[in-house]
Chains A and B, each alone.
Chain A
Amino acid sequence: MENILQQIINGLSLGSIYALIALGYTMVYGILRLINFAHGDIYMVGAFLGYFALGYWNLSFPMGLIFAMAGSAILGILIERFAYRPLRLAPRISLLITAIGVSFLLENLMVLWVGASPRPFPQKIPVEVYFVGNIVFTNRQIIIIAVSVFLMFILQFIVLKTKVGKAMRAVSFDKETALMMGIDIDKIIALTFAIGSSLAAAGGVLVGLYFNKIEPYMGVMPGLKAFVAAVLGGIGIIPGAMIGGYILGIAEVLVSAFISSTIRDAVAFIVLILILLVRPSGILGKYMREKV
């Protein structure tokens, strides 16, 4: 029992990170219907920005986090402007291929710049270990969960309570009508990319803190899994992405602790296929009947 609780705590930290990346996926998908394969690599760039900010310029941890988020937000806007916007009227599959191209580009540029070998992440925060009974947790896990929950609350606030958020929801609901209502669609889409990318960057910095290792290809697997998390919860739905992220994180940790750590990477996809077979539009998704 204690072991299970222990693993759930570990799963919550991992799940928070998946949830942060999944939020960006779900927001972009909600607005553009695009599986943004480059999102996992923005997360990687975010981790490296944090690495430089903390390791070379000696910023404090919160400042480094903010720097990484801001840098990735700009990157997200640039990618949208130069790679996705010209294709807004093109077939969706070419948009998807472009996203894959951008993903390769970011990975390979990073390899060119810093090399392919993993690097240790600067450890700004000394580890403190706490015990509750026999359950161990560290201050890092608390920071990860706290930062991600805080960011998710901010996001929910922006989307539900502000004017910009209202515009975002309008655009995702119906682009043409939103345009006719005087909403600047380009601006809203750019903003969506900025917010999504900054959340991914936060995830990247937190992962660096947690696993203490970053490399240019680190975004591929978490990127796919975060997308799985977004689909799991019902894509386009923000609370769905959070739920999906936590389910995945916990399932993965439990499986690697109690069954076998070698099938860890398959867990996400097995869970996904099982849930899609029962609920084809995700846990929170509504099933929409298609018409001719």
Chain B
Amino acid sequence: MRRNYLITLIISIFLILLGTQAQGINPYYYQLLIFFGINSILAMSLNLINGFAGQFSIGHAGFMAVGGYFSAALSVYQGEKLLAFLNFLPTNVAQIVEFFIFLLVGGLVAGILGLLVGIPTLRLRGDYLAIATLGFGEIVRVAILNLDVVGGPRGFPGIPQRTNLSWIIFWFIVCYLVIRNLINSSHGRAIISIREDEIASETMGINTTFYKVLAFVIGAFFAGIAGGLFAHYLMMLHPSSFTFFRSVEVLLMIVLGGLGSISGAILGAFILTILPEALRGFTYLRLVIYSIILILLMLLRPQGLLGGREISLSIFKRFINPKVDRS
């Protein structure tokens, strides 16, 4: 077990260092990689709520907006002060620490908001919950439109660019490990049992409210982190980035990949990041083709591409050592 952690750690550090070397690649691909990473974090976090806990939430853009705007506002209004406070460190390190703190705070605020929204609304079930979370997302957007301190409808410019591929890889790995380990723990079994049958799992003595709120808060936290990464990459935020369409896009990723599959969420994020770019050549027809592909995929494969299964290294293990126990 300990060896596994060590290997994971080494691979992670290697990937993060690899990210620092990526500046040389084509800027277009670089940007696509960044967006793919952000979308994956969003998709994995929503998948925890929708796919594993079975709580139908379509307000993810709201949490992303809260995290993004909060960490961006901190960078713009408090960034200098924190850097001055950290002046005993070399400038590079101070910037890394600063960005980490601000991202974390943005994520935590989103998580706390998730707690505040989750406790009352998670009493609702199915479509009612969906529509309540949708409403929450819209309320956040309208609130931002009315907040002059972050630019309101004009958008919020002047955010320092701190996000690079290493940061994306780092948070991608953190998000992946947290959610995978949670799901594979006994808490994760509890969360999945709520999806399968809420009342039965309650009868079995599972504190369903606690686990639903837990999934919701962790999901909101990572959505907030993704928002912060997004803000510090684009250097500019606009309320129109966080409409209902954004929430739907993330939902599409996880349904396309297969609900309840982490690798499915990543696959869905990959496809829906690439697809609009691949269709660029069609100009006006692009969105029509996009929607037709979407409908056809659902008609032909309603359970999603992976349908709840995971792609993992054990698939390869089977070829190497057929006797490996995969129960």
Contacts and interface: CB of A to CB of B under 8 A. Distances in A.
B131 A98 contact: no
B151 to A, nearest CB: 14
A266 B291 contact: no
A223 B125 CA distance: 21
A29 B70 CA distance: 38
B56 to A, nearest CB: 7
Given A97-B255, A231-B131, A265 B138 contact: yes
A102 interface: yes
Contact of B244 (A90, A224, A262, A268): A224
A180 interface: no
Given A94-B302, A101-B298, A105-B288, A220 B199 contact: no
Contact of B146 (A29, A228, A263): A263
Interface stretch (B34-42, B97-105, B116-124, B160-168): B116-124
A87 B302 CA distance: 8
A108 B288 contact: yes
B148 to A, nearest CB: 11
Contacts of B294: 97-98, 100-101, 104
B295 A102 contact: yes
Contact of A227 (B131, B302, B304): B131
Contact of B298 (A98, A268, A270): A98
Indicate the size class of the contact surface on chain B: 35 or more
What's the dominant secondary structure at chain B's contact region? helix
Contacts of B290: 104, 108
A292 B200 contact: yes
A238 interface: no
Interface string B278-321: 00000011011011101100110011100000000000000000
A280 B124 contact: yes
Tell me which of A95, A227, A235, A273 has the highest count of chain B C-beta atoms within 10 A of its own C-beta: A273
A91 interface: yes
B120 A277 contact: yes
Given A98-B299, A273-B135, A276-B128, A93 B197 contact: no
Interface in B242-278: 244, 248, 251-252, 255-256, 259
19 contacts: A29-B127, A93-B56, A95-B302, A97-B252, A100-B294, A101-B294, A101-B295, A102-B291, A104-B287, A108-B291, A112-B284, A231-B131, A262-B145, A262-B146, A266-B139, A266-B143, A269-B139, A280-B124, A292-B199
Interface of B: 50, 56, 120-121, 123-125, 127-128, 130-132, 134-136, 138-139, 142-143, 145-146, 197, 199-200, 203, 244, 248, 251-252, 255-256, 259, 284-285, 287-288, 290-292, 294-295, 298-299, 302-304
